[in-house]
């Protein structure tokens, strides 16, 4: 049933069966560290909970189903998931990554894994063919994030997959911003898809979690080995929370898209607003690719002010009443952030501004509150 039914049905049912001992419709929170064995080595597939836990197994199957993947694994955070993926590599191996990567990924690549001899190149992937400039005989992996943070750049996943296939490289796509509802990278030729499930997948800003999906049996086996060996696994309570959050992913995403469009259009028509970054605009530089590889344009939007003033951006962000000033994204509640002082503060001003992250840039994670309340809130805050 799981592969044949449609997205919303799978979001609610995939990987889940009534509990065999009681008939409980919800997968129980198996709050246990170990499992009793009949005789040494004779057990029902569960020996120790770092390796496997039934609540986590249900969640992994559900996420895999939504990514049209054969295999899914969950990790204790998005960063834990990415850490496991990079551990597939060996010293000397090279990675070509998107140049405006999530700050935490950039930090892990440059501050942790560079020290273990893995080499990272950061490439402008507006045209996927630009990846070719960084290829050599040591390249093992292409790492893509699309849409990017905070400028909502779109990268052509199929175009990247073509190069990866040609050269026998792994293509990893961080699908956090789109969620499996809007984009399925494995269907477009990616080898591995990774998520911060903290964001849209969980959807309620109440848990930190990561996920990795693949159709490749060997890669899955290696990742499961790394997960069990290194131990960045999520607990059963967190797995339950994400399993519950996932049941409304399709409904939430539909509303994120409706609100996102309304707010992007409102901002664009506002006299005090300069640029609005949202892949749904027909003049977005890669709008045609977004239309081809995404089912909708989501609720992530960034914008700048005509005054170009940091003070004005700060004042705006502190005047909103429905949008809360906070890091993170993808929850039911709307958030506003100031990348230059928050997520991108570690990047030198000159380099930051060159990439478009100017002092007046604000980023919105548009939630699923009533559209009019959100528009009104921004109208009042912009003044």
Ligand X SMILES: *Cc1c(COP(=O)(O)O)cnc(C)c1O
Residues with a known catalytic role: 50, 102, 174, 199
Output b/e per residue, 15-33; b: 16+ Cβ within 10 A.
Answer: bbeeeeeeeeeebebbeee
**How are the residues of the chain apportioned to helix, strand and coil, as percentages rounded to the nearest 5?**
40, 15, 45
Strands in 93-161 per DSSP E:
94-98, 119-123, 139-145
Q: Is residue 208 close enough to count as binding ligand X by CB under 6 A? A: yes
Give the tokens for residue 88.
Answer: 């597939």
Pairing of β 300-305 and β 139-145: unpaired
* Smallest gap from residue 176 Cβ to ligand X (A): 4
Long-range contacts of 224-228 (CB under 8 A, 24+ apart): 224/73, 226/84, 226/87, 226/88, 227/73, 227/75, 227/84, 228/50, 228/51
Rg of the chain (C-alpha set): 21
What is the Cα–Cα distance from 183 to 13, expressed in whole angstroms?
Answer: 20
Q: Is residue 210 close enough to count as binding ligand X by CB under 6 A? A: yes
Q: Is residue 102 close enough to count as binding ligand X by CB under 6 A? A: yes
Q: Is residue 199 close enough to count as binding ligand X by CB under 6 A? A: yes
3-state secondary structure 212-228: EEECCHHHHHHHHHHHH
Segment interacting with ligand X, rule: CB under 6 A, options 98-106, 241-249, 315-323, 348-356: 98-106
Residue showing the smallest CB distance to ligand X in the complex: 78
What is the Cα–Cα distance from 161 to 180, expressed in whole angstroms?
Answer: 18
Segment interacting with ligand X, rule: CB under 6 A, options 71-79, 184-192, 218-226, 257-265: 71-79
What is the Cα–Cα distance from 321 to 128, expressed in whole angstroms?
Answer: 40
Nearer to ligand X, 242 or 358 (CB): 242
* Smallest gap from residue 201 Cβ to ligand X (A): 10
Nearer to ligand X, 220 or 363 (CB): 363
Site size toward ligand X (CB under 6 A) is 16
Q: Is residue 79 close enough to count as binding ligand X by CB under 6 A? A: yes
* Smallest gap from residue 177 Cβ to ligand X (A): 6
What is the Cα–Cα distance from 369 to 156, expressed in whole angstroms?
Answer: 31
Q: Which of residues 135-194 bind ligand X (CB under 6 A)?
A: 145, 149, 174, 176-177
What is the Cα–Cα distance from 199 to 189, expressed in whole angstroms?
Answer: 24
* Smallest gap from residue 383 Cβ to ligand X (A): 30
Nearer to ligand X, 227 or 273 (CB): 227
Segment interacting with ligand X, rule: CB under 6 A, options 72-80, 158-166, 283-291, 374-382: 72-80
Nearer to ligand X, 198 or 205 (CB): 198
* Smallest gap from residue 307 Cβ to ligand X (A): 28
Interface ranges with ligand X (CB under 6 A): 77-79, 102, 104-105, 145, 149, 174, 176-177, 196, 198-199, 208, 210
């Amino acid at each position: 049933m799981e592969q044949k039914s449609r997205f919303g049905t799978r979001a609610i049912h995939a990987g889940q069966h009534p509990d065999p001992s009681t008939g409980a419709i919800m997968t129980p929170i198996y709050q246990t560290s170990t499992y009793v064995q009949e005789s040494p080595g004779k057990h029902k597939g569960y020996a120790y909970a770092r390796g496997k836990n039934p609540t986590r197994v249900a969640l992994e199957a559900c996420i895999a189903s939504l990514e049209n993947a054969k295999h899914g694994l969950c990790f204790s955070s998005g960063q834990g998931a990415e850490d496991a993926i990079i551990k597939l590599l060996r010293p000397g191996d090279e990675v070509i990554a998107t140049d405006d990567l999530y700050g935490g990924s950039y930090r892990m690549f440059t501050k942790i894994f560079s020290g273990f001899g893995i080499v990272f190149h950061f490439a402008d992937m507006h045209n996927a063919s630009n990846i070719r400039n960084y290829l050599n005989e040591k390249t093992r992996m292409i790492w893509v994030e699309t849409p990017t943070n905070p400028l909502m750049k779109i990268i052509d996943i199929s175009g990247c997959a073509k190069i990866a296939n040609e050269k026998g490289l792994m293509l990893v796509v961080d699908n956090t911003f789109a969620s499996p509802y809007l984009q399925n990278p494995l269907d477009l030729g990616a080898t591995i898809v990774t998520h911060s499930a903290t964001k849209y997948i969980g959807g309620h800003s109440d848990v930190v979690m990561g996920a990795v999906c693949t159709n490749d049996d060997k890669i899955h086996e290696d990742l499961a080995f790394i997960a069990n060996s290194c131990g960045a696994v999520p607990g059963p309570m967190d797995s339950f929370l994400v399993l519950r959050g996932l049941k409304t992913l399709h409904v939430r995403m539909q509303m994120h898209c409706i609100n996102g469009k309304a707010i992007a259009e409102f901002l664009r028509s506002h006299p005090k607003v300069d640029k609005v970054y949202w892949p749904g605009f027909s003049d977005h530089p890669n709008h045609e690719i977004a239309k081809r590889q995404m089912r909708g344009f989501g609720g992530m939007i960034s914008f700048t002010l005509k005054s170009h003033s940091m003070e004005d951006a700060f004042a705006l962000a502190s005047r909103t009443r429905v949008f809360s000033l906070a890091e993170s994204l993808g929850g039911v509640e709307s958030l506003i952030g100031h990348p230059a002082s928050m997520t991108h503060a570690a990047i030198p001003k000159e380099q930051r501004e060159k990439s478009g992250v100017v002092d007046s840039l604000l980023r919105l994670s548009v939630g699923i509150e009533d559209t009019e309340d959100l528009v009104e809130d921004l109208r009042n805050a912009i003044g």
